[in-house]
Amino acid sequence: MVSSYYYFILFAILLTTFGFVSIFYQALQTSNADAIPYSALIAFAISTIIFLFISFIRKYPVHLIFYILTLVCILGIMNIKRNMGTSNQE
């Protein structure tokens, strides 16, 4: 039987994923990600990669999908920041 903690953890992961999806969407629309520091994005990316490996090893496919989506959003935001920084320097 699955514990209620499992569902709380899954819901928290879902909220985090949708939070990054909305930030990524906003950054794509405005091409502005200045307010998000690289250190925060790198920390989130590292923690997401760790959770990604854990969910892969423990065979949690739903968690794995959410972590992959979160990592794609984080890397997309970092790419927008990098491209925006090079276009501002020209």
**pLDDT of residue 53 exceeding 80:** yes
The whole-number average pLDDT for the span 27-51 is 88
Q: Which pLDDT score is estimated for 6? A: 84
Q: Which pLDDT score is estimated for 60? A: 87
**pLDDT of residue 85 exceeding 80:** no
- The string of pLDDT tens digits covering residues 1-16 is 778 888 888 899 999 9
Residues 6+ apart with CB under 8 A from 18: none
Going from the N-terminus, what domains does the chain have, and what CATH number goes with each?
4-89 (1.20.1280.290)
Can you list the alpha helix ranges (DSSP code H) found in the chain?
4-30, 38-57, 61-89
